[in-house]
Structure 1
Amino acid sequence: MASLLPLIQDILPMILPASVAVTKAADILPAQTQPTEPESEREGEASGVRVISRNAVVHKTDKMCASVLIVKPKSSSSVRHHGEQEAIVYTVSGNGVLLSQPEGDDEEPKRHELGSGDFAFIPAWTEHQVVNESGVDFHLVVIRSGGQPVEVNLTDWGGPQTRETHSNQ
């Protein structure tokens, strides 16, 4: 019976195909941060929100999920890792820097410059930080292994977890 389980897992999707799921930008991005809005009308400047993270595709499969990350001008995310999840980051618009964990205690984080259309791969447990040094929003799509995103926020490089550590819902 145990030898049939892999066969059933391969055949079942052919017999009972899943449906396509679409998430509209208007359902995940605050209206003020959609790329068609003028810069002066965007969320963040007045509210003090500097990093916006929104789930795009979650709980559709246990193998992958996607979210949107918007880093406002002259700001950065916390230092973080994604636990056991691997991640692929796609730069939708803007320019920024992906910092990755220093190799030694006396070293600076490694800088990876990102611009529109660039991809980055972040291995599991790798500490990183997204920085926007420019004057315009930096929009990223983050695709992770696992059915929902895990973000483990740290106090600093190699530091303990903050209270904001969570799995996005």
Structure 2
Amino acid sequence: MASLLPLIQDILPMILPASVSLTKAADILPPEPEPSEAEGASPAVRVISRHAIVDKTDRMCASVLILKPNSSSSIRHHGEQETILYTVSGKGALLSQPKGDDEEPQRHELGPGDFAFIPAWTEHQAVNESEEADLHLVLIRSGGQPVEVNLTDWGGEQVKDGPNR
């Protein structure tokens, strides 16, 4: 019986095909601020993370990460998930875990159309040092739900409070 399981998993999608799932950009991306809001006294959000495709399969999920000018994500890793990062627009850098205690993080320049592979458990940080343009990234991860573990520093403890994205 156990030998039939792989065969059933291969044939079942042909018999009962799944439907396409679509997430519209308007449902992910934040609206452009009104001129009065952009000049308001409250500080603007500098890093925006939105899930695009989640829980549609247990094999992968997708998120969008937008970094405003002069901002960076937290230092983080994605647990056991492997990640492919795609740069949609803007220029920035992907910093990855330093090899030694006295070393600087490895720097990988990012531009439109660039891909990066981030292995499981690898600490990294996305950085936008631009003065005027947003950095738009798409992250495709193994697993049905994104895992984001924010850290206090390179090799640091997990951040206990705050957003988990």
- The TM-score with structure 1 as length reference comes to 0.89
Q: What secondary structure sits across from 2:3 in the alignment? A: helix
For the aligned residue pairs, the C-alpha RMSD in angstroms reads 2.1
Q: 2:134 aligns with which of 133, 137, 144?
A: 137
Superposed, 1:34-49 pairs within 5 Å as 47-49=43-45
Distance 2:145 2:84 in 1: 14
- Paired residue for 1:151? 148
Shift, 1:77, TM fit:
0.5
Look up the match of 1:82: 78
Partner of 2:48: 52
**Partner Cα separation in structure 1 for residue 89 and residue 119 of structure 2:** 23
CA distance in 2, matches of 1:128, 1:117: 19
1:68 paired with 2:64, answer yes
> Which range moves more in the overlay, 41-50 or 20-29?
41-50
Say which is worse superposed, 24-33 or 130-139, in terms of deviation.
Answer: 24-33
CA distance in 2, matches of 1:152, 1:142: 15
1:42 positional shift: 9.0
Between the aligned partners of 2:6 and 2:108, the Cα distance in structure 1 is 40
Q: Unpaired runs of 5+ in structure 1?
A: none
Counterpart in 1 of 2:24? 24
Secondary structure at the aligned position of 2:148 is classed as strand
Q: 1:114 aligns with which of 85, 110, 116?
A: 110
Q: Which residue of 1 aligns with 2:9?
A: 9
Q: What is the DSSP-based 3-state SS (H/G/I as helix, E as strand, rest coil) of the residue aligned with 1:121?
A: strand
How many residue pairs align between the two structures?
162
Aligned 8 A contact 1:53 1:68 in 2:
yes
Unpaired segments of 5 or more residues in structure 2?
Answer: none
Whether the 8 Å contact between 1:32 and 1:43 is mirrored in structure 2 is no
Determine what percentage of the aligned residue pairs are the same residue: 75
Deviations, residues 58-116 of structure 1 (Å, cap 9, x unaligned):
10000000000000110100000000000000001100010000000110000000001
For residues 17-48 of structure 1, give each alpha carbon's deviation from its aligned partner in whole angstroms, at most 9, with x where no partner exists. Answer: 00001110000111118xxx9xx799799543
